[in-house]
């Protein structure tokens, strides 16, 4: 963590200097008349988006929530490895790790061969593939995740806080005004929910509106969209319990299939609490789950039968619910549909545009990634860095990812709801226990949240030079690896330098004999980036801003840290920043030469040639290029960014949605 750049500050370094007008503390207490971005909903999606935008003092962000305060008890609890990587970019991953239950092992249980009314453990597997992420899959109450987002927002320059007890009444878009990039064409009428005092309405004019208001999204309805899909007609109960049991895997994630039904068991944080998903039977065609009139005692009874021969003595139930498994998806995630012209002004994210079963633990995780994808793009457009056409890419990228996830979830939920074949009757109906385990292992990247790969576009390159770094797949998230920071010899994760601050990253991996000396490929690249009129840093960094304020360049060398001198590095890798012109010593790294931790080896980087990895603000790999491909590097950024004079470099951004 870096601080003191613009002067010594005592106290909490995470409490950032306030933006102008926010010196008194929190953000505005009353609703603004207009906002750059109005976010509807304080679930994990809305808070992830608000948290990202709160870091930009020049963006007026407003977030509203119909409830009268923060969430106290959440339903979602699974936090995928990929979400932990995102939390690290926001600065609170360590807080999550301290409180959460770590999911290390997954056990599978099936009916006993000689007594199918009892269960036995059939196998155990690692929950997450070795080396998939530096972070584990963890379990933590959704309300705590909300609090971490809210705390980060409170400490941001904007001191952003939600406006509670307001709900959407209507969303109106002035289509003529929407053609003007600087206009506030969306008028949102807000009202007090029933039971919150006297009727009251307010209107907020916004440049952009994002509906993060759940599966019954009012914002989605207002722009004429609906969720499409179906159900597998299966009823499940879920409960968080404190229970006394002799079941040996009570503190391991477990999938239990018995002749009495199925259970997915998820240990919770704190060492005692456990979540139990319990199959409650098949629904008839067009039958609603409410018609079953399932009560808590029914869920407990079903769980006790499935656990047999083990006892389950429930002492306390912290929360319970029933639900029907279904997968639904919107055809697009903004107010501009396929084949229509114009720029999107209203977006939907999270459950507002896709819903699926909780079995894979992806609801909250995928929703937050929607927000992470959209947030930096809104910031780039609002701050004049990119053309508004960039915003088309949100729906294009995230709708396809949601479609893939729903396909995976449908198969996984179906497998968990099918009876397990008995070894005494191998031709009977049902599924082999081994097939469930095999499917989980084969699709571990989905449950870890690392399966997302964005297709080529103006912000994601073609794989022409992919062989230079086989482990950094273009379109996938940047897979971090250990390195040594040159200036202080500290072991760090390279990916942890990608913070949620809207900046692009260039990771320059030096070739075998390149130490950054004058005339070397790395030095030549730094010279180009610093001085050439076609350099993306020269073209797109605002006047008087720090050299890394838009594009942050860092280099990795293959030498031992004792063999290099930080002061011999090119100026771009030892930049002077801030009002005092202090040097930033955290731009240069070397390989970690302890056993099995060499980033070149781990990520398949060409040792002889090296490469440049361009990383998007949402941590996804945008492109892989040769170190000397200066023109190609410039052309990539010219495809979607706006230069300092406000002119578009090319019209390529117009093709983003294609």
Q: Distance between CA atoms of 118 and 109, rounded to whole angstroms?
A: 10
Closest alpha carbon to 590 in 567, 563, 556 = 556
Q: What is the pLDDT of residues 331-386, one digit of tens each?
A: 999 999 765 678 999 999 999 999 877 666 677 899 999 999 999 999 999 999 99
Decide which of 3.40.228.10, 3.50.50.60, 3.40.190.10, 3.40.50.150 is the CATH code for 34-93+141-227+330-398: 3.50.50.60
Give the C-alpha separation, 9 to 2, whole Å.
12
The answer, yes or no, to whether residue 469 has pLDDT greater than 80, is yes
Rounded distance between C-alpha atoms, residue 286 and residue 284, angstroms: 6
Report d(CA 495, CA 602) in Å as an integer. Answer: 14
Q: What are the backbone dihedrals phi and psi of residue 609, each rounded to the nearest 5 degrees, phi first?
A: -95, -30
Question: Where does the pLDDT of residue 652 fall: very low under 50, low under 70, confident under 90, or very high at 90 and above?
Answer: very low
Q: Which residues neighbour 89 within 8 Å (Cβ) at sequence distance 6 or greater?
A: 498, 499, 500, 619
The one-character DSSP state at 29 is: S
User: Using CB atoms within 10 A of its CB, is residue 534 exposed (0-12), middle (13-18) or buried (19+)?
Assistant: middle
**471 neighbors 603 (Cβ within 8 angstroms):** yes
Q: Say whether pLDDT at 656 is over 50.
A: no
pLDDT, tens only, 22-80: 665 555 678 999 999 999 999 999 999 999 999 999 999 999 999 999 998 777 789 99
The answer to whether the beta carbons of residues 390 and 640 sit under 8 Å apart is: yes
Q: Which of 135, 162, 178 is nearest to 28 (CA)?
A: 162
Task: Over range 623-647, report the average pLDDT.
Answer: 90
Mean pLDDT of 621-627: 98
Q: Indicate if the pLDDT at residue 204 is higher than 50.
A: yes
Cα separation, 224 vs 335, whole angstroms: 8
- Nearest to 347, CA basis, from 37, 43, 47: 37
CA–CA separation, 461 and 444 (whole Å): 26
Q: CB under 8 Å to 10, separation ≥6 — which residues?
A: none
Percent of the chain with pLDDT over 90: 71
| Cβ proximity of 119 and 110 under 8 Å | yes
Mean pLDDT across 629-652: 78
pLDDT digits (tens, 9 = 90+) for 530-552: 999 999 999 999 999 999 999 99
Which band of pLDDT confidence, cut at 50, 70 and 90, is reported for residue 285?
Answer: low
Contact 119, 308 (CB under 8 A): yes
Rounded Cα distance, 46 and 426, in Å? 49
Q: What are phi and psi of 253, to 5 degrees?
A: -60, 130
Alpha helices by DSSP H, listed for 418-471, are: 433-442, 444-448
Closest CA to 478 of 641, 610, 615, 349: 615
Nearest of 188, 144, 192, 143 to residue 167 by alpha carbon: 192
The answer to whether 136 touches 102, Cβ cutoff 8 Å, is yes
CATH 3.50.50.60 residue ranges for the chain: 34-93+141-227+330-398
Could you give the 3-state DSSP secondary structure of residue 277?
strand
- Contact between 26 and 159 under an 8 Å Cβ cutoff? The reply is yes
Among 337-341, 390-394, 485-489, 570-574, the least confident range:
337-341
Write the CA distances from 364 to 20, 146, 203, 356, integer angstroms: 34, 11, 30, 11
pLDDT at 433 over 90: no
Respond yes or no on whether the N-terminal peptide bond of residue 309 is cis (omega within 30° of 0).
yes
Which sign does the torsion angle of CA 204, 210, 215, 217 carry?
positive
528 — pLDDT class (breaks 50, 70, 90): very high
**Maximum alpha-carbon separation in the chain:** 78
Q: Is the pLDDT of residue 443 over 80?
A: no
Q: Which residues of the chain are in CATH 3.30.9.10 domains? A: 101-138+230-325+418-446
Chain region(s) in the chain for CATH 3.40.30.20: 463-655
Q: pLDDT tens across 78-124, in order?
A: 999 999 999 999 999 999 999 999 999 999 999 988 888 899 999 99
User: What pLDDT is attached to residue 444?
Assistant: 80
CA distance 458 to 653: 6
Three-state SS at 116: strand
Angstrom distance (rounded) from CA 374 to CA 351: 15
Q: What is the mean pLDDT of residues 474-502?
A: 97
Rg over CA atoms, the chain:
26
Task: Tell me if 264 sits within 8 A of 236, measured CB to CB.
Answer: no
pLDDT at 657: 33
Beta bridge partners of 555: 508, 588
How many Å apart are CA 439 and CA 416, to the nearest integer? 11
**Angle (CA) 573 579 582, round 5°:** 35
pTM, full prediction: 0.92
Architecture per CATH, domain 463-655, reads as: 3-Layer(aba) Sandwich (3.40)
Contact residues for 185 (Cβ-Cβ < 8 A; gap 6+):
173, 174, 175, 177, 178, 207, 345
Q: Which of these CATH numbers, 3.40.50.170, 3.40.1360.10, 3.90.550.10, 3.30.9.10, describes 101-138+230-325+418-446?
A: 3.30.9.10
Helix (H) and strand (E) counts for the chain?
14, 27
Q: Is 364 helix (H, G, I), strand (E, B) or coil?
A: helix
User: How much is the average pLDDT of 211-237?
Assistant: 88
Strands 551-557 vs 504-509: parallel, antiparallel or unpaired: parallel
Cα separation, 42 vs 38, in Å, equals 12
Residue 658, pLDDT > 70, answer: no
Q: Is the pLDDT of residue 301 over 80?
A: yes
- Average pLDDT for the chain: 90
How confident is the model at residue 441, as a pLDDT? 77
């Amino acid at each position: 963590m870096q601080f003191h750049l613009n002067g010594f500050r005592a106290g909490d370094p995470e409490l950032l200097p306030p933006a102008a007008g926010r010196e008194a503390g929190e953000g505005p207490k009353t609703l603004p008349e207009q906002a750059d971005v109005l976010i509807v909903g304080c679930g994990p999606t809305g808070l992830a988006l608000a948290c990202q935008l709160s870091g930009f003092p020049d963006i007026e962000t407003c977030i509203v929530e119909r409830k009268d305060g923060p969430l106290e008890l959440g339903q979602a609890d699974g936090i995928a490895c990929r979400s932990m990587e995102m939390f690290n970019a926001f600065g609170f991953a360590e807080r999550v790790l301290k409180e959460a239950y770590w999911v290390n092992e997954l056990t599978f249980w099936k009916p006993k061969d000689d007594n199918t009314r009892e269960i036995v453990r059939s196998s155990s597997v690692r929950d997450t593939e070795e080396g998939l992420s530096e972070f584990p899959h963890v379990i933590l109450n959704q309300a705590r995740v909300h609090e971490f987002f809210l705390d980060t927002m409170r400490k941001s320059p904007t001191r952003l806080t939600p406006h509670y007890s307001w709900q959407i009444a209507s969303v109106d878009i002035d289509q003529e005004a929407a053609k003007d990039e600087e206009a506030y064409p969306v008028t949102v009428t807000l009202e007090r929910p029933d039971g919150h005092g006297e009727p009251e309405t307010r209107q907020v004019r916004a440049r952009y509106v994002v509906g993060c208001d759940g599966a019954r999204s009012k914002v989605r309805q207002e722009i004429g969209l609906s969720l499409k899909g179906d159900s597998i007609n299966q009823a499940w109960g879920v409960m968080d319990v404190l229970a006394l049991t002799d079941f040996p895997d009570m503190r391991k994630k477990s999938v239990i299939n018995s002749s009495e039904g199925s259970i997915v068991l998820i240990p919770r944080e704190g060492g005692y609490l456990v979540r139990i998903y319990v199959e409650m039977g098949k629904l008839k065609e067009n039958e609603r789950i409410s018609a079953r009139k399932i009560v808590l005692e029914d869920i407990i009874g079903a769980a006790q039968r499935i656990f047999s021969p083990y006892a389950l003595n429930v002492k306390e139930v912290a929360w319970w619910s029933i639900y029907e498994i279904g997968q639904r998806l919107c055809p697009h995630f903004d107010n501009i549909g396929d084949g229509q012209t114009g720029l999107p002004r209203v977006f939907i994210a999270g459950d507002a545009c896709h819903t699926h079963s909780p079995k894979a633990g992806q609801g909250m995780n995928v929703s937050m990634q929607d927000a992470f994808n959209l947030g930096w793009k809104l910031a780039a457009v609002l701050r004049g860095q990119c053309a508004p056409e960039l915003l088309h890419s949100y729906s294009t990228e995230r709708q396809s990812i949601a479609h893939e996830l729903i396909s995976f979830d449908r198969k996984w939920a179906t497998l968990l709801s099918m009876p397990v074949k008995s070894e005494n009757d191998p031709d009977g109906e049902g599924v082999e226990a081994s097939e469930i385990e095999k499917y989980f292992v084969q699709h571990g990247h989905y449950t870890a949240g690392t399966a997302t790969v964005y297709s080529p576009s103006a912000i994601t390159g073609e794989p022409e030079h992919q062989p230079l770094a086989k482990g950094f797949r273009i379109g996938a998230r940047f897979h971090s690896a250990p390195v040594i920071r040159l200036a202080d010899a500290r072991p760090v994760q390279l990916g942890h330098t990608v913070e949620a601050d809207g900046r692009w990253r260039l990771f320059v991996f030096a070739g075998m004999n390149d130490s950054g000396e004058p005339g070397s490929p790395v030095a030549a690249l730094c010279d180009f980036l610093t001085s050439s009129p076609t350099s993306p840093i020269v073209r797109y960094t605002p006047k008087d801003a720090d050299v890394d304020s838009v594009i942050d360049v860092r280099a990795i060398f293959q030498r031992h840290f004792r063999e290099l001198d930080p002061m011999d590095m090119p100026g771009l890798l030892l930049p002077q920043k801030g009002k005092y012109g202090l040097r930033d010593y955290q731009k240069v790294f070397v390989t970690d030469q302890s056993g099995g931790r060499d980033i070149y080896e781990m990520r398949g980087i060409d040792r002889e040639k090296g490469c440049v990895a361009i990383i998007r603000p949402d941590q996804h790999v945008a492109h892989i290029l040769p170190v000397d491909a200066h023109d190609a590097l410039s052309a990539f950024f010219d495809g979607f960014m706006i230069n300092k004079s406000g002119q578009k470099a090319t019209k390529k951004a117009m093709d983003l949605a294609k």
